[in-house]
């Protein structure tokens, strides 16, 4: 479904964010990317839908070369890939409904959408998406009036509006407390299992990785340093852990089952 080969990103200031990263994503996976802050997780996710242009390497989406896609084709690819963010990235002063409808922008005719006019079917879809994340009562509120967990659910509803085949989730729970984290990841798991949407998610906490991932890759200083299955993660050793999180990492026992 998604094939990444030798992906390298060097920022204009010389920072090398990704070095020769290659991996593939199979349909229906819940693939989690782990790694320290600054290890290149966000850059990797943003290269996939070209929010960031990679310096080298190829990304293939269903056989189409994303890196070579021109604007119209790129937009067609983007609309199939939903994205949710650590900071939710909602328009805080727009209504919840308007934020959700924005997820449909890649499908609707551009001109009417500029004056917030959407087809009735899309409004219906937005309502269903809000129903799914349990926020129909908040539809008319401004996004900033919602709590963090609610905002992230709006983010999920916005991604749902794209009727995506894959969702990219950039640290979706890093700004939330553990209880909310499980709630949000629960929604993603449901989409993954019930709707068959492939999820590509970066996470910080190992216990969450163990709970939700079907496969894991680890990044360190832009290099892909770890590939493992759900079982591998459960049995992760200190050596592997330090390989990903560096020598200074202190392993907390929380939620970890594998010990050396």
Partner 1 sequence: MAGRNKRNKQEAGRREPPPPLVRPAAAAVASLLVPGLGQILDRLVQRGLLLLGSVVTILAMLGWRISVLAHREPTAWAMLAKALARRPFFIGLILACLVGLWVWIVADAARLARPVRDSRGRPRRGGFGIFVLVLFTFFALGWQVSQVDPVRMVTEFPKALTPLGRVVWPWQAAVVRETVDRQASAEVQTPCTDNPPPPAVEKPGQPFLLADPTCGELSALDTAGTLLPGSTLTLTGRGFAPDSEVKLYWVDPLGNEFQLRQEGRYLSVQADGRGAFQTKVIMPYRLFPGNPGESSLHQVVARQIASLGRLRASEPLLLTIERMVETIFMGMMATLFGILFAIPVSFLAARNLMSGSWLTMGIYYAVRTIMNIIRAIEPLIWALIAVVWVGLGPFAGIIALTVHSVASLGKLYSEAIEGIDAGPIEAVEATGATRLQTIMYAVVPQMIAPFVSFSIYRWDINVRMSTIIGLVGGGGIGFLLVQYIRLLDYRAAGIAVWFIAVTVAVLDYVSAEIRAKFV
* Binding positions for partner 1, rule: CB under 8 A: 46, 49, 51, 75-79, 81-83, 85, 87-94, 98, 102-107, 110, 113-114, 155, 158, 161-162, 168
Q: Quick one: 53 or 231, whose CB is closer to partner 1?
A: 53
Beta-carbon-side half-sphere exposure of residue 211 (alpha carbons within 13 Å) = 18
Kindly tell me the burial class for residue 225, based on how many C-beta atoms sit within 10 Å of its own C-beta (0-12, 13-18, 19 or more): middle
| 78, 230, 234, 254 from 209: Cα distances, Å | 26, 8, 9, 12
Residue with tokens 């989690």: 32
Nearest distance in Å: CB 26, partner 1: 22
Strand, helix or coil at 173? coil
Q: Quick one: 17 or 216, whose CB is closer to partner 1?
A: 17
| 25, 59, 88, 111 from 70: Cα distances, Å | 23, 14, 27, 21
Nearest distance in Å: CB 12, partner 1: 12
Q: Quick one: 8 or 89, whose CB is closer to partner 1?
A: 89
Nearest distance in Å: CB 168, partner 1: 8
Strand, helix or coil at 169? strand
Q: Quick one: 84 or 216, whose CB is closer to partner 1?
A: 84
Nearest distance in Å: CB 85, partner 1: 6
């Amino acid at each position: 479904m998604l094939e990444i080969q030798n992906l390298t990103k060097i920022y204009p200031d010389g920072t090398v964010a990704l070095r020769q990263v290659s991996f593939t994503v199979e349909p229906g996976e819940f693939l989690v990317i782990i790694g320290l802050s600054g290890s290149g997780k966000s850059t990797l996710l943003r290269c996939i839908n070209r929010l960031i242009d990679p310096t080298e390497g190829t990304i293939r989406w269903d056989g189409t070369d994303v890196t070579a896609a021109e604007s119209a084709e790129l937009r067609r690819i983007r609309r199939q890939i939903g994205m949710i963010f650590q900071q939710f990235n909602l328009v805080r002063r727009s209504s919840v409904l308007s934020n959700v409808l924005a997820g449909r922008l890649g499908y609707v005719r551009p001109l009417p959408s500029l004056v917030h006019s959407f087809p009735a079917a899309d409004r219906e879809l937005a309502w269903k998406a809000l129903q799914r994340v349990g926020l129909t009562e908040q539809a008319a509120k401004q996004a900033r009036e919602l709590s963090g967990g609610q905002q992230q659910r709006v983010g999920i509803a916005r991604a749902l509006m794209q009727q995506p085949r894959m969702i990219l989730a950039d640290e979706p729970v890093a700004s939330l407390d553990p209880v909310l984290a499980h709630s949000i990841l629960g929604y993603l798991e449901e989409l993954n299992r019930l709707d068959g949407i492939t999820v590509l998610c970066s996470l910080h906490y190992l216990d969450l990785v163990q709970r939700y991932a079907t496969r894991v890759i680890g990044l360190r200083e832009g290099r892909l340093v770890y590939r493992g299955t759900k079982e591998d993660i459960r049995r992760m050793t200190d050596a592997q852990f330090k390989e990903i999180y560096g020598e200074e990492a202190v392993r907390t026992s929380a939620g970890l089952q594998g010990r050396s």
